[in-house]
């Protein structure tokens, strides 16, 4: 009897010890993960190289490079003869270069030392700040943090009370506000006038693409200013503009504070890696080509469609306004392409010619400002397949006719780390493109094409 009790006590003791050990182990793994997350990532010695695969073998070598911290794509392999940009750590540089040469490719180094470029682009903004004249020019002399962007927009709104309204439409995973800036002649009328078609534009769904939020804020500024001008009043009289400057505020902040190369959201996942690629998380052909189920991948699609609070909030905002939403533009960088659906595969929407034509109108006007050339086409055909994208969902589910993904400057010289001196020129040309685009839409609304039954 005594022996049995002893055995039971020992068994309980062992069980407790194991549980405590497991708990401690879990806690220490967790704290390693947490401290890993808190580290500021340095890209010292990392380079970004461009190669153009010319043969099937070289293309397949590129597609089979393992996606890791040491080797990752900035511009993914899409097809033979299309450039591929790869970021490589100093540790892996020699072996990857050897492979590239082996397959007859001639890598061109675009960025020699990424960390040096990152810190140089910070100094670049100090230099510009010293030279600018107006407060708006000052604001656009560098890439601003989220708070600065929101404060700036509040200021813009307080100077344009009749034409601007700012609303919160949700919260990010870490609790930051998601804001939409509504600009139009009737946004503040009472009773509300909900008759105008909406042009919806968002930026920053990918954290590291800093030029996108900057450009959306630039557009808000110009719209507010031009609205005062009699000749351009039509832009806010004919349409309501809904601008979301930061569609992924957690990722954006993290790319400022910890990791300049961060792309995804910041939600916790099972395993050691964080974040979901929000532009693979929309519920249209979710989980298809160009997505990954690996939580550590930059194109991780999430555990299910709309797993992220950010994509859910965008979905609800847009669906809440449909069918008024006539155009949906998702601003990204880089590549200088104006893309339309589908991103899930080679197919084209029935009205792809209309989308192509309207994009051409925009990019032709854009090129006249600073000579910047854009290509126009479907995501899959021009770039690569990427299912679960916002634009596919906007067209396929929300039934928005003119849905686009716009990849802003540049074409690879600086990639995501575009120096801040390019914010204003990028803003100017994109604004001109949107003006032509809006005029094209207006023309179509006034003189609808006769559709055959």
Site of interaction with Zn ion (CB under 5 A) = 206, 332
Q: Which two tokens stand for residue 183?
A: 């600009």
For residue 166, the 8-state DSSP code is E
| Residue 6 burial by Cβ neighbours in a 10 Å radius (0-12, 13-18, 19+) | exposed
Q: Which candidate, 194, 201, 187, places its Cα nearest to that of 404?
A: 201
Which of 262/437 has CB closer to Zn ion?
262
User: What is the closest distance, in whole angstroms, from the C-beta atom of residue 332 to Zn ion in the complex?
Assistant: 3
Task: From the candidates 209, 308, 407, 429, give the one annotated as an active-site residue.
Answer: 407
User: What is the closest distance, in whole angstroms, from the C-beta atom of residue 26 to Zn ion in the complex?
Assistant: 35
CB 301 within 8 A of CB 281: yes
Angle between the N-to-C axes of helices 423-446 and 352-370, in degrees from 0 to 180, rounded to the nearest 10: 140
Integer Cα distance of 325 and 336 in angstroms: 25
Which of 236/299 has CB closer to Zn ion?
299
Q: Which residue has the tokens 């030392």?
A: 113
CB 335 within 8 A of CB 383: yes
Integer Cα distance of 280 and 388 in angstroms: 4
Which of 315/332 has CB closer to Zn ion?
332
Taken in order 154, 158, 160, 162, is the CA torsion positive or negative?
positive
User: What is the closest distance, in whole angstroms, from the C-beta atom of residue 208 to Zn ion in the complex?
Assistant: 8
Which of 206/280 has CB closer to Zn ion?
206
Q: What does each C-alpha distance from 166 to 120, 152, 153, 273 come to in angstroms?
A: 34, 12, 8, 34
User: What is the closest distance, in whole angstroms, from the C-beta atom of residue 289 to Zn ion in the complex?
Assistant: 17
Which of 196/263 has CB closer to Zn ion?
263
Which of 184/389 has CB closer to Zn ion?
389
Integer Cα distance of 417 and 261 in angstroms: 9
Integer Cα distance of 242 and 65 in angstroms: 40
Any catalytic annotation for residue 308? Answer: no
Q: Which residues are catalytic?
A: 407
């Amino acid at each position: 009897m005594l022996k049995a009790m002893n055995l039971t006590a020992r068994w309980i003791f062992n069980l407790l010890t194991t549980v405590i050990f497991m708990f401690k182990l879990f806690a220490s793994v967790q704290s390693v993960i947490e401290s890993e997350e808190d580290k500021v990532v340095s890209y010292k010695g990392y380079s970004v190289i461009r190669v153009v695969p010319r043969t099937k073998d070289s293309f397949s070598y590129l597609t089979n490079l393992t996606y890791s911290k040491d080797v990752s794509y900035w511009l993914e392999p899409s097809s033979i003869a299309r450039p591929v940009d790869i970021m490589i750590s100093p540790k892996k540089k020699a072996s990857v270069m050897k492979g590239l040469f082996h397959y007859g490719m001639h890598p061109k180094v675009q960025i020699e030392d990424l960390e040096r470029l990152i810190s140089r682009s910070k100094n670049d903004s100090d230099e510009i700040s010293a030279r600018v004249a107006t407060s708006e020019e000052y604001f656009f002399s560098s890439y601003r943090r989220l708070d600065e962007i929101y404060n700036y927009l509040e200021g813009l709104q307080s100077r344009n009370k009749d034409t601007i309204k700012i609303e919160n439409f949700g919260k990010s995973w870490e609790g930051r506000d998601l804001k939409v800036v509504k600009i139009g002649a009737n946004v503040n009328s009472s009773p509300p006038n909900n008759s105008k078609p909406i042009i919806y534009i968002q930026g920053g769904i990918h954290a590291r693409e800093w030029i996108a939020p900057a450009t959306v804020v630039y557009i808000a500024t110009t719209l507010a200013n031009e609205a005062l001008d009699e000749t351009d009043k039509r832009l806010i009289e004919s349409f309501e503009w809904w601008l979301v400057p930061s569609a992924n505020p957690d990722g954006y902040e993290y790319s400022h504070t910890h990791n300049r190369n961060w792309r995804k959201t910041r939600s916790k996942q099972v395993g050691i890696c964080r974040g979901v690629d929000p532009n693979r998380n929309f519920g249209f052909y979710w989980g298809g080509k160009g997505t990954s189920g690996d939580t550590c991948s930059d194109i991780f699609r999430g555990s299910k469609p709309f797993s992220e609070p950010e994509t859910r909030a965008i979905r609800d905002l847009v669906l809440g306004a449909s069918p008024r939403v006539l155009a949906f533009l998702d601003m990204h960088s880089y590549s200088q392409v104006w893309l339309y659906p589908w991103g899930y595969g080679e197919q084209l929407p029935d009205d792809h010619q209309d989308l192509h034509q309207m994009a051409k109108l925009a990019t032709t006007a854009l090129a006249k400002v600073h000579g910047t050339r854009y290509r126009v086409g479907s995501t899959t055909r021009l770039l690569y397949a990427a299912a679960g994208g916002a634009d596919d969902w906007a067209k396929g589910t929300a039934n928005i006719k003119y849905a686009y993904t716009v990849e802003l400057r540049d074409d690879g010289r600086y990639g995501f780390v575009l120096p801040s001196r390019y914010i204003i020129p990028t803003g100017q040309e994109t604004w001109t493109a949107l003006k032509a685009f809006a005029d094209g839409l207006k023309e179509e609304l006034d003189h609808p094409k006769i559709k055959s039954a």
